[in-house]
Amino acid sequence: MKALVKGKAEPGLWLQDVPMPQVGINDVLIKVDRTGICGTDVHIYKWDNWAQKTIPVPMVVGHEFVGEIVEVGANVKDFFPGEVVSGEGHVVCGHCRNCLAGRRHLCADTKGIGVNRPGAFAEYLVLPMTNVWHHNPSIDRDVAAIFDPFGNAVHTALSFPVLGEDVLITGAGPIGIMAAAVVKHAGARFVVITDVNPYRLELARKMGVTLAINPRETSLGKVQKKLGMVEGFDVGLEMSGNADAFRDMIAHMSHGGKIAMLGIPEKEIAVDWNTVVFSMLTIKGIYGREMYETWYKMTVMLQSGLDISPVITHRFHYTEFQKGFDAMLSGQSGKVILDWKS
Ligand code: NAD
Ligand code: ZN
C-alpha cells in the first residue's frame, strides 16, 4: 500500500510502498478516506529537535483521519466492515492507575499513532478496537477527518464553564479558531482571539468571534475598555505556545480566572507568579482528548448547529501532499485535508 513515510533522518516526507499492516485479534483494519495535516506532522516534516528526539525512522506519519472499516479481529464484536470511523490517536496502556480508573486521557504511557506507531497517512491503518470511534452518519466527511484537533479544541474549551463568561483565546491557529466557535456555541459572552498572522485573524473573524486582534497593534487593555469589561477575562485558552501571549493572558485575567493551556511552548516560559497568586488563577494543562466524553461532545455540538467547516481551507489528493505541506508551512492556511481515495 501507499503511505507517507518519514523515511530518512532529514527534512521531508516520502510517498512509498509499505507492507499492509497486520490485523491482531483485538484490532480493526480501516481503509483511510481523508486525513488532516497537523502541526505535529509539520514538525516531523521539518525534522526539528523534537522530531529528531521522538520519531523512529522509518515511520508512517499522520493521525487525523476518517475511513471505512474493512476487516476486524476475532475478538472484535462491536465494529463491522463498511462502518465510517475515526480513531483516537493516543493508544493508552490500559493498566496504569489512571487507565484502570477510566481516566484514560491521563495515562502515563500513551503512544501516539504517526509518532510512536504507524500512522494514518496511508491507504490502510490498524488500530486497537478501544481506539475506534463510530461516526454518526450526519457528520460531514471532511469534518470527520479532523475530529482529532477538533477534540483538542473541545477538550480545552470545555475545561471550565463558559456560559455567560468572557473568554480570551491566544493563537488563532486551526485549534484556536475551532475553540472560539465552541465557546461561542457554549454560551460565552465575549470571545476575543489574538494572533500575529493577519490571514488567521481573518479566518477567525469568519467564525463569529467578538474581536480578532493582533496584540502587537492593539493591547488587550484597550480591547477590554472597548468592550466595556470591568474586570479581566474569566476564562483563558492558551493555543499559541507563545511566551508573550501566555504572559499577556495572565496579566488580563479576572480574579479567580481560569486558564486551560494547550499550546506547547518551545522552551521554559518565565511568568509573573505574583499575578498568578494575587489574581488567584487556576492553570490547567491539556493533552489530547478525553476518551470518549470529548468525542461525544463533538458529535452532539455539530448536531446542535456548531459549524467548524470554515476552518478547512485547502484540499489535495495524497499524491499532491507536498502542496498540502507547503500550504501549512506558509502560514496562509487553516486545516489542510488530503484525500486518500485512489
Ligand atoms: P498553530 O501553530 O497553527 O497555531 C498557533 C498560532 O499561534 C499561529 O497562528 C501563530 O501565528 C499564533 N501566535 C504566534 N505568536 C503569537 C502571539 N504572540 N500571540 C498570539 N498568537 C500567536 O497550531 P494549532 O495546530 O492551532 O495548535 C495550537 C497549539 O496547540 C500549538 O502550540 C500546538 O503545538 C499545540 N497542540 C497541543 C496539543 C495538546 O494535546 N496539548 C495537541 C495539538 C496541538
Ligand atoms: Zn495507562
Task: Spell out the per-residue pLDDT of the chain, length 342, in tens.
Answer: 999 999 999 999 999 999 999 999 999 999 999 999 999 999 999 999 999 999 999 999 999 999 999 999 999 999 999 999 999 999 999 999 999 999 999 999 999 999 999 999 999 999 999 999 999 999 999 999 999 999 999 999 999 999 999 999 999 999 999 999 999 999 999 999 999 999 999 999 999 999 999 999 999 999 999 999 999 999 999 999 999 999 999 999 999 999 999 999 999 999 999 999 999 999 999 999 999 999 999 999 999 999 999 999 999 999 999 999 999 999 999 999 999 998
Instruction: Specify if 299 maps to a domain.
Output: no
Do residues 76 and 94 both lie within one domain? yes
**Distance (Å, whole) CA 238 – CA 230:** 22
Choose the residue to mutate in 262, 267, 291 for probing ligand 1, maximizing ligand atoms within 8 Å of C-beta. Answer: 262
Do residues 123 and 48 both lie within one domain? yes
Distance between Cα 336 and ligand 1 center (Å): 15
Do residues 268 and 196 both lie within one domain? yes
Instruction: Specify if 91 maps to a domain.
Output: yes
CATH number of the domain that 235 lies in? 3.40.50.720
**Distance (Å, whole) CA 312 – CA 13:** 22
Active site residues: 40, 43
Cα 26 to chain centroid, rounded? 26
Tally Cβ neighbours within 10 Å of residue 140: 14
Return the residue whose CA atom lies nearest to atom 40 of ligand 1: 287
Instruction: Specify if 293 maps to a domain.
Output: no
Do residues 124 and 140 both lie within one domain? yes
Which residues are paired to 338 by β-bridges?
35, 316
The interface pTM score, or ipTM, of the predicted complex is 0.99
Residues with CB under 5 A from ligand 2 (ion): 92-93, 96, 99, 107
| Strands (DSSP E) found in the chain | 2-6, 14-17, 27-37, 59-60, 64-72, 84-87, 90-91, 111-112, 124-128, 132-134, 167-170, 191-194, 211-213, 233-238, 253-261, 282-285, 312-317, 335-339
Distance between Cα 111 and ligand 2 center (Å): 10
User: Which structural domain, as residue segments, surrounds residue 180?
Assistant: 152-285
**Distance (Å, whole) CA 24 – CA 299:** 29
Distance between Cα 173 and ligand 1 center (Å): 6
Classified as helix, coil or strand, 35 is strand
Instruction: Specify if 290 maps to a domain.
Output: no
Q: Helix 198-206 and helix 174-185: axis angle, to 10°? A: 30
Classified as helix, coil or strand, 60 is strand
pLDDT value at residue 191: 98
Annotated ligand binding at 286? The verdict is yes
Do residues 177 and 65 both lie within one domain? no
Do residues 156 and 251 both lie within one domain? yes
pLDDT value at residue 79: 98
Check if the beta carbon of residue 47 is closer than 8 Å to that of residue 10.
yes
Q: What is the DSSP string of 78-127?
A: S--TT-EEEE-SEE--S-SHHHHTT-GGG-SS-EEBTTTB--SSBSEEEE
Distance between Cα 152 and ligand 2 center (Å): 19
Number of compact structural domains in the chain: 2
Do residues 231 and 166 both lie within one domain? yes
Do residues 137 and 79 both lie within one domain? yes
Which atom of ligand 1 is found nearest the CA of 331? Answer: 9
CATH number of the domain that 87 lies in? 3.90.180.10
| Torsion angle (degrees, nearest 10) of CA 229, 232, 237, 241 | 120
Instruction: Specify if 324 maps to a domain.
Output: yes
Do residues 130 and 179 both lie within one domain? no
Ligand nearest to the CA of 94: 2
Ligand nearest to the CA of 151: 1
**Distance (Å, whole) CA 13 – CA 7:** 7
Phi, psi of 262 (to 5 degrees): -105, -35
Instruction: Specify if 265 maps to a domain.
Output: yes
Check if the beta carbon of residue 126 is closer than 8 Å to that of residue 60.
no
Do residues 180 and 157 both lie within one domain? yes
Return the residue whose CA atom lies nearest to atom 4 of ligand 1: 173
Instruction: Specify if 292 maps to a domain.
Output: no
Do residues 102 and 193 both lie within one domain? no
**Distance (Å, whole) CA 67 – CA 123:** 9
pLDDT value at residue 299: 98
Annotated ligand binding at 96? The verdict is yes
Give residues (CB < 6 A) around ligand 1: 39, 152, 170-176, 194-197, 200, 215, 239-242, 244-245, 262-264, 286-288
pLDDT value at residue 342: 82
Q: How many CA atoms lie within 13 A of 195 on its CB side?
A: 26
Ligand nearest to the CA of 103: 2
Do residues 273 and 238 both lie within one domain? yes
Instruction: Specify if 328 maps to a domain.
Output: yes
Return the residue whose CA atom lies nearest to atom 39 of ligand 1: 287
Choose the residue to mutate in 264, 286, 332 for probing ligand 1, maximizing ligand atoms within 8 Å of C-beta. Answer: 264
